[in-house]
Structure 1
């Protein structure tokens, strides 16, 4: 066999892998050993020059439950690695400036229907998305730049495939927004109306995302394409990590298709949706051509229910540099990792020494998934036999091309939180009510919140309080729990330290079957009501979502009422993009 270590530059990953202990290997094994409309067909000629093989044998304990779930003819399912990874466009502001509060940028998107060509045979797949893209256009801003995002609902009265009313609510997931701009599930914008959201963007650099959050139909709407990246940059992050074309946004999703090419939505009695076609940036099993240098990837999982256990086909670890809430205190390496819906991980892959080779991003799956013939493959990287780019666009040296940093954000405020400062501990069990078949978080479901006139809460921390929240998972399911407004530190998982790649600020935590996680967080900077829910969107919609309040007591006036403080208005010009 060819020596897979040959040609790897000194000081890169092969040196660090030698330090991986047997305990770490066992631990990682225990984890569970732009849209398609813009997709470019082709690349086969170039791909034939690359070897495609896996050098790492991983035992997959998850048997494929079926060859496929889609009803489309098998020959119309796309071939693996036949398309090029689409680059999702950046959204351009229509206004910029500086006022008494500092710099600002104004953006607008319209939610609209469109068709994509994902399958073969000329079949079209109707979707909905921001500006006719799935995923939608990426917003990139500098920390401290306030953003106004106007979302225009240009959708028909009912969903073109699933038939439900096309009311929407836009949530900037990971943003410390005021409640009335947080995309509260009952703050609905109906077709023909628009809402302008205000985002302070005072948080440190991070990968967040905007997506639909309409109550009871979030799963269908996000699955249909209403999701997009949003990046906050700052000086610390720019100095440490690759930028521009070497800073790559990735959105992974799965889908299932009816015989006519439309999306199917088999949610298996509200338990989840698992597709048999894996999409990256809207394209099925694409290939990305890369230079032999270090790249940064921002990977977002927008699946309704599927979690992944990612690994590289050549056995190389990736270097984690950021979690949901931004830079980790120090970089961490892992051979594989669990990645649930809504989580974002930023990591570096070192392609030096692999010119002319193909490296695949593979999926070894986790418990509580449904796996099919080709859900073990995700995408491929073809490392071009070219000299790497070692300078920035202005011609200055770019040290990130061959540098993997150790220390990152060592003073991160969330990771510096001390459990001794917690003023209260709360415990919540996530479960399904056997009598009603309704998913519950603690003792509440979203039906309870609606019945209370959106007033009942699961917790009422004071503004500035630090608390520990414990979530206990049940049998038969895993639950990615998302807490709006705050970032948190994951203290323990089943009483032991968390995985290395989780050692950064988070807003969504993987709660596996029979796992108990403890989270530490400080509540602020705003008063008001915020949602907590499972990000298996089938669970959220039926109805594993509740809310908590910050700095409010029963009967207090609430100037930031999440439904009424900033109502949508009729679209001033429905023809505008």
Structure 2
């Protein structure tokens, strides 16, 4: 086969993407196991309690203008997770744990997060180099603090990320975004939740111990308890063990009251279709970018990689001792195993309920209308169309036949679009890759899903989003307001093996191609040497 210039760039430019034949996952594929564990080491569902990641400590300063800033420090380092009963699992973790510490912060309070890379030079089992780039997913950060894939922090260095936190209340998450190895690094543990609150959300929804972050992922294990990694020739990784907050199929004791769950799909590739074992509905109150205008009652919902859905579950009507499972009926183009239909279990207990808390029995209907849900399609000044594809010759995933390698080869100038600052546009994305689903993420912006295959969006996605699930042969139309910053931001598939190989491009907001960029994502705020090692 004669290589085109584009294929030569892809295969040779970064030195990490190889040609090959993709093994296509067949809808409904089921198998006993992906792990190499012995039967006695394989975890059993509902054998361990749910744990909640600890909060991250901080110091506070107030400047002369009265602006409050919280200062955090997290260290990326090797850790050891107790996932299996007899074996330890080496991980990479923020502060050495998975999920990383939870950051909870009020809207309007700024944050500066120092992320120290104290990882070894190479991954201890997979062998790739370990520079990192931390992305606060869902934050309208300046480009130099957005976790741009090639804005790398080497081991022994740190970078301070500045987060404005001016957006309405929402569930964000932070994760590694290092070019070409995002999948391996996130899978190894570099992820955690970051939650912004505001008075509107606090007045409507449960708080404190009844506001529960759930980070859901899947994993496979080697015989010695280490994480296995098989992305099936860059098509996707599907593990046979479901983890919730780092524990396999855990159990949570719940009171007879309403709970709020912030559910993040942090899996590398797997999508879920969640529902309760009782058949009772849940109430979806928030999507990726915050509160929905109107709460939606659903019996199930499709949940792609990196999407966040906040749901209320009402345990009041269940008798003490009732056991309720959160289950997964999966979606087309996943790979399922014996127990991937199970997620976790809730056990109803008879603890005294604090009825002075008005949220204990409240299921709000009207929530909050915020940007971009107040936009209309007629506000758009331009419509752009993009096709998501797979190149069978190079085994590369593309957007409009372009790849991140071509962005690199252009000196990071090549863009898929150049919207003006504050422009409103319609972006139409068509999945023509054949036999796959793609959770597509746009950095910087929130968007409204206008339609799916010409029909209204699903009830549960009628809120502000930054990731959209595009199933096989689906076309979605998105209404996007580009702001509040100028500069370059990434668009990519959040099946992280697709992103790494190489379904990622960038758009440029409010800048000409050769215009000087004071917020260059690579050079404006580089990492610095960490004088404190270890």
TM-score (normalised: structure 1): 0.87
Counterpart in the other structure of 1:204: 168
Give CA-to-partner distance per residue, 1:299-330, whole Å, 9 cap, x none: 00000000000000000100000000000001
Retained in 2: the 8 A contact 1:204–1:232? Answer: yes
Give CA-to-partner distance per residue, 1:442-494, whole Å, 9 cap, x none: 23111111111111000000001000001001210000000000000000000
**Inter-partner Cα distance in structure 2 for 1:154 and 1:267:** 26
Counterpart in the other structure of 1:384: 349
**Inter-partner Cα distance in structure 2 for 1:330 and 1:434:** 43
Provide closer, same or farther for how the CA distance between residues 439 and 62 of structure 1 changes in structure 2, counting only shifts above 3 A: closer
Matching of residue 192 in structure 1 with residue 150 in structure 2: no
Matching of residue 434 in structure 1 with residue 389 in structure 2: no
1:117 to 64, 82, 97: 82
Offset of 1:62 from its aligned partner?
A: 6.0
Matching of residue 168 in structure 1 with residue 126 in structure 2: no
**Inter-partner Cα distance in structure 1 for 2:269 and 2:39:** 23
**Inter-partner Cα distance in structure 1 for 2:64 and 2:263:** 34
**Inter-partner Cα distance in structure 2 for 1:258 and 1:238:** 44
Over aligned residue pairs, what C-alpha RMSD do you find?
1.1
Matching of residue 226 in structure 1 with residue 190 in structure 2: yes
Matching of residue 374 in structure 1 with residue 332 in structure 2: no
Larger strand fraction of residues:
2
Give CA-to-partner distance per residue, 1:36-90, whole Å, 9 cap, x none: xxxxxxxxxxxxxxxxxxxxxxxxx964521011111122111110100011111
Counterpart in the other structure of 1:15: none
Give CA-to-partner distance per residue, 1:264-313, whole Å, 9 cap, x none: 11100100000000000000000000100000000000000000000000
Residue correspondence of structure 1 range 333-352 to structure 2 within 5 A: 333-352=297-316
Offset of 1:357 from its aligned partner?
A: 0.3
Matching of residue 448 in structure 1 with residue 412 in structure 2: no
Say which SS state the counterpart of residue 77 (structure 1) adopts: coil
Counterpart in the other structure of 2:276: 312
**Inter-partner Cα distance in structure 1 for 2:66 and 2:425:** 32
Say which SS state the counterpart of residue 140 (structure 1) adopts: strand
Offset of 1:124 from its aligned partner?
A: 1.4
Counterpart in the other structure of 2:484: 525
Say which SS state the counterpart of residue 84 (structure 1) adopts: coil
Counterpart in the other structure of 2:70: 105
Offset of 1:161 from its aligned partner?
A: 1.4
Counterpart in the other structure of 2:211: 247
Offset of 1:385 from its aligned partner?
A: 2.1
Counterpart in the other structure of 1:11: none
**Inter-partner Cα distance in structure 2 for 1:490 and 1:380:** 32
Retained in 2: the 8 A contact 1:253–1:302? Answer: yes
Offset of 1:99 from its aligned partner?
A: 3.9
Retained in 1: the 8 A contact 2:286–2:311? Answer: yes
Say which SS state the counterpart of residue 335 (structure 2) adopts: coil
Retained in 2: the 8 A contact 1:439–1:542? Answer: yes
Counterpart in the other structure of 1:87: 52
Retained in 2: the 8 A contact 1:62–1:365? Answer: no
Residue correspondence of structure 1 range 420-569 to structure 2 within 5 A: 420-474=378-432, 475-569=434-528
**Inter-partner Cα distance in structure 2 for 1:98 and 1:298:** 33
Provide closer, same or farther for how the CA distance between residues 352 and 98 of structure 1 changes in structure 2, counting only shifts above 3 A: farther
**Inter-partner Cα distance in structure 1 for 2:333 and 2:40:** 28
Provide closer, same or farther for how the CA distance between residues 425 and 243 of structure 1 changes in structure 2, counting only shifts above 3 A: same
**Inter-partner Cα distance in structure 2 for 1:72 and 1:138:** 31
Residue correspondence of structure 1 range 351-366 to structure 2 within 5 A: 351-354=315-318, 355-366=320-331
Counterpart in the other structure of 2:7: none
Retained in 1: the 8 A contact 2:28–2:334? Answer: no
User: When the two structures are aligned, how many residues end up with a matched partner?
Assistant: 507
Offset of 1:97 from its aligned partner?
A: 2.9
Matching of residue 67 in structure 1 with residue 32 in structure 2: yes
Offset of 1:342 from its aligned partner?
A: 0.2
Residue correspondence of structure 1 range 12-161 to structure 2 within 5 A: 63-100=28-65, 102-120=67-85, 122-161=86-125
Give CA-to-partner distance per residue, 1:385-407, whole Å, 9 cap, x none: 233222xxxxxx31110010010
Offset of 1:98 from its aligned partner?
A: 4.2
Say which SS state the counterpart of residue 255 (structure 1) adopts: strand
**Inter-partner Cα distance in structure 1 for 2:112 and 2:50:** 30
Unaligned runs of 5+ in 1: 1-60, 391-396
**Inter-partner Cα distance in structure 1 for 2:108 and 2:64:** 13
TM-score (normalised: structure 2): 0.94
Offset of 1:101 from its aligned partner?
A: 6.0
Say which SS state the counterpart of residue 414 (structure 1) adopts: coil
Give CA-to-partner distance per residue, 1:185-224, whole Å, 9 cap, x none: 0000000000000001000000001100000000000000
**Inter-partner Cα distance in structure 2 for 1:334 and 1:442:** 35
Matching of residue 179 in structure 1 with residue 143 in structure 2: yes
Retained in 1: the 8 A contact 2:258–2:316? Answer: yes
Matching of residue 415 in structure 1 with residue 373 in structure 2: yes
**Inter-partner Cα distance in structure 2 for 1:379 and 1:530:** 36
Say which SS state the counterpart of residue 506 (structure 1) adopts: coil
Say which SS state the counterpart of residue 448 (structure 1) adopts: helix
